[in-house]
Amino acid sequence: MTEKLSNEELSKLPFMNSNLDLEKRVEDLLGRLTLKEKFKLSSGTQFFYTKPIKRLGIPNFKMTDGPHGIGPHSSNNSECTYFPVGVCRAATWNPELSEQFGVAAGQEVRDIGYHMLLGPGINIQRAPHCGRNFEYQTEDPYLNSRLAVPCVKGIQSQQIAACVKHYACNNQETNRFTCNSVVSERALQEIYLPGFKATVCEADAWSFMTCYNKVNGVYGSEHKNLIKQRLMEKWDFRGFVVSDWTATQHVKNTESCVEAGLSLEMPTAIKYKYKSMMDALNEGKFTEEMLNENIRRLLRVMFLTGIFDDPSTIPPGSRNTLEHQAVARKIAEEGIVLLKNEDNLLPLDINSIKKIAVVGPNANKKMSRGGGSSQVKPPYEIKPIEGIQEKCKGKIEIVSTPSEADVVIYVGGLNHRPHKDSEGADRKRFNLTSTHINRLNETIQENPKTIVVLISGSPIGMDWIDKVPAVIEAWYPGMEGGNAIASVLFGDVNPSGKLPITFPKKLEDSPAQIVKDLEVNYDDGIFVGYRYFDTNNIEPLFPFGHGLSYTTFTYDNLKISKDKVSGDETVKVSVDITNSGSRTGAEVVQLYVQDVDCSVERPLKELKGFKKIKLEPGAKETINLELGKEDLSFYDEKSGGWKVEPGKFNILVGSSSRDIRLQGKIEYL
């Protein structure tokens, strides 16, 4: 049974027949594996591969970071497109762009001959100081889901597995290997799990990566409740679960991982060493059927990615193409958020300005190669100053002294050094460093017409904000970032990004902080981000959903299809949006629901719908959204299920969570 087969013999085996039903191929191959080979497949090699089983022609299944492009550390130093980071993608509020990113990233993974992308990262941005916020999307579970689903679909459209990470409650980097996220069932259901669930139920995600931390006392890689019971049994996940790299180092033992449903231990065997596996099996600590099920899942994904198929029958892959660079630029342009624009200082008029000074610590800085496992090595990266120089070429002189300039662009913010926006450590300060604040203040003194462009993946304290007329949040905008920033500054692009997170005035205002103890109590419960600020009436610096435009939009004619609903009925909500300004622009129409009277505490409002539309000046469009029972429900800890209570609900439609333009109501009977 275990002798090596010739290529010809192999090619005749049922699992090699691509016309055969997928599950039959999986069972055929599984049935041919020896126990030893199953053990071998359970852990990785060379940091990013599974081990090959040469006898059966099973090659290495190859995985690569990361969430905004392929990482050189995981791809033999490959050059790849550097896309804007997750929070920038989320700030576009554009699911189509999420999908385009997914398609492009999938094509790049295919092009380097790999099979799985270690992303998207969709942990909720709970605490402003979390070092990996830049990789993640948002503080809101609804927005998280709506953007993660098309991203996973896009990646997998290329027969590349998405690996949704880090499951779950990996919301800080401090003590990430050992801390325990203590979180209520309601917060799990309403805040932390919906994004993960959506990628399975709506996008058929083929893989999940566990978190390093414990969730309610149990490490992610041995979390039977999270993996087996929820992900697999409740959500019907057909893919496989991989540990975060070395995440199994502190788990109880081999059998707890096997039993929980961990198929693959990465990057190498710790708990899944041959002897540990054999001993545990012999001692009856797990059954071979449990192991089979874990291996079956891994094999299924191998088949899904076409690893055993004729390469000419699978999507071909491509990398560093103009199309991918255009996607990177589009995401940057749509993700940049105009936070403040006093007296319409922006956009700058290229014809009337003579001299511009471009200063600040991030003006001339590349950002692709930092931050930890999400680093990328692009063939080029347009720095902010380069984008502005290119735009101004032959028209505006770039000077270095602010006092000489008609207008100053100060590019500051954070970077990917440890304790900034970076993996493995959280931020230490909310404000810019005192050196940078001094530099900014000096610049403002020299020339008050200073526009601040922030490069960051998380909110920054802005004590200086009243002194500057305009602020742009550009995030980490990828390899086309400098061009995208220039396009926005000079009005070639009308900004349409909206904040996917709340920007607090001061750190203490935020409901959650980084915790140094090993016990991280999520005592903010469901009151994460704007849910907390709104309910407690704390004014943020910039609210969730905020983002200005160079044009204006009016909201009229809110229509709600019925005022009373019951059972599973849905309600149609429509609203007319008019571009009432003089430039073409895009608006993100946001729909929030407010439960007027409830037996349990609920947030003042919750996002339950949105739509981004582009309108020419004067143009009007009717936006149609729909609300279902689940949009009115909360997770009821008493009954252990989702519940909607009869009573009134306000329907709020607006341009941000704190700029509600129209309001109506319905009653749930």
CB of 515 to ligand BGC, least distance (A): 19
CA distance 41 to 499: 43
CB of 375 to ligand BGC, least distance (A): 10
Query: In this structure, are residues 208 and 120 in contact, taking their beta carbons and an 8 Å threshold?
Result: no
User: How many residues does this entry show for the chain?
Assistant: 669
CB of 136 to ligand BGC, least distance (A): 11
Which residue, 66 or 347, has its beta carbon nearer to ligand BGC? 66
Measured in degrees and rounded to the nearest 5, phi and psi for residue 12 equal -90, -5
CB of 653 to ligand BGC, least distance (A): 37
CA distance 411 to 658: 28
Which residue, 470 or 514, has its beta carbon nearer to ligand BGC? 514
CA distance 299 to 513: 41
Q: How far is CA 258 from CA 253, 265, 277, 358, in A?
A: 9, 10, 9, 56
**Is-catalytic flag, 244?**
yes
In sequence order, what DSSP letters do the residues of 38-49 get, joined into one string? HHHHTBEETTTE
CB of 65 to ligand BGC, least distance (A): 5
CB of 246 to ligand BGC, least distance (A): 8
CB of 121 to ligand BGC, least distance (A): 6
Which of 65, 244, 524, 631 does the annotation list as catalytic? 244
Handedness of CA 91, 96, 98, 104 (dihedral sign): negative
Which residue, 240 or 555, has its beta carbon nearer to ligand BGC? 240
Task: From 480, 496, 450, select the one nearest 367 (Cα to Cα).
Answer: 480
Q: At what angle do helices 322-335 and 481-489 cross, to 10 degrees?
A: 50
Which residue, 90 or 575, has its beta carbon nearer to ligand BGC? 90
DSSP secondary-structure letter at 455? E
Query: In this structure, are residues 378 and 79 in contact, taking their beta carbons and an 8 Å threshold?
Result: yes
CA distance 363 to 356: 13
Which residue, 136 or 542, has its beta carbon nearer to ligand BGC? 136
Which residue, 65 or 139, has its beta carbon nearer to ligand BGC? 65
Which residue, 244 or 473, has its beta carbon nearer to ligand BGC? 244
- Which residues would be at the binding site for ligand BGC (CB under 6 A)? 65-66, 74, 118, 165, 244-245, 373
Measured in degrees and rounded to the nearest 5, phi and psi for residue 170 equal -95, 80
CA dihedral 108→111→115→118, nearest 10 degrees, is: -20
CB of 63 to ligand BGC, least distance (A): 8
CB of 138 to ligand BGC, least distance (A): 18
Tokens at 514, concatenated: 């980084």
Which residue, 208 or 533, has its beta carbon nearer to ligand BGC? 208
Measured in degrees and rounded to the nearest 5, phi and psi for residue 590 equal -115, 135
Query: In this structure, are residues 431 and 465 in contact, taking their beta carbons and an 8 Å threshold?
Result: no
- Rounded to 5°, the CA angle 602-608-609 comes to 160
Q: Looking at the DSSP assignment, which residues form a beta bridge with residue 606? A: 593
Which residues, in sequence order, are CB contacts of 325 under 8 Å at separation 6+? 81, 479, 480
CB of 153 to ligand BGC, least distance (A): 20
In sequence order, what DSSP letters do the residues of 378-429 get, joined into one string? -S----HHHHHHHHHTTTSEEES-GGGSSEEEEEEE--SSTTSS-TTS--S-
Which residues, in sequence order, are CB contacts of 144 under 8 Å at separation 6+? 90, 122, 124, 137, 138, 194, 195, 198
Which residue, 165 or 611, has its beta carbon nearer to ligand BGC? 165
Side-chain-side CA neighbours of 281 within 13 Å: the count stands at 19
Task: Label residue 646 left, alpha or beta by phi (over 0 means left) and psi (-120 to 50 means alpha).
Answer: beta
Most distant CA atoms of the chain, gap in Å: 82
CB of 118 to ligand BGC, least distance (A): 4
Q: Is 351 exposed, middle or buried (0-12, 13-18, 19+ CB in 10 A)?
A: exposed
Which residue, 373 or 456, has its beta carbon nearer to ligand BGC? 373
Sheet containing 564-565: order of strands: 564-565, 659-668, 647-656, 585-595, 606-615
Which residue, 118 or 270, has its beta carbon nearer to ligand BGC? 118
Q: Which positions are catalytic?
A: 244
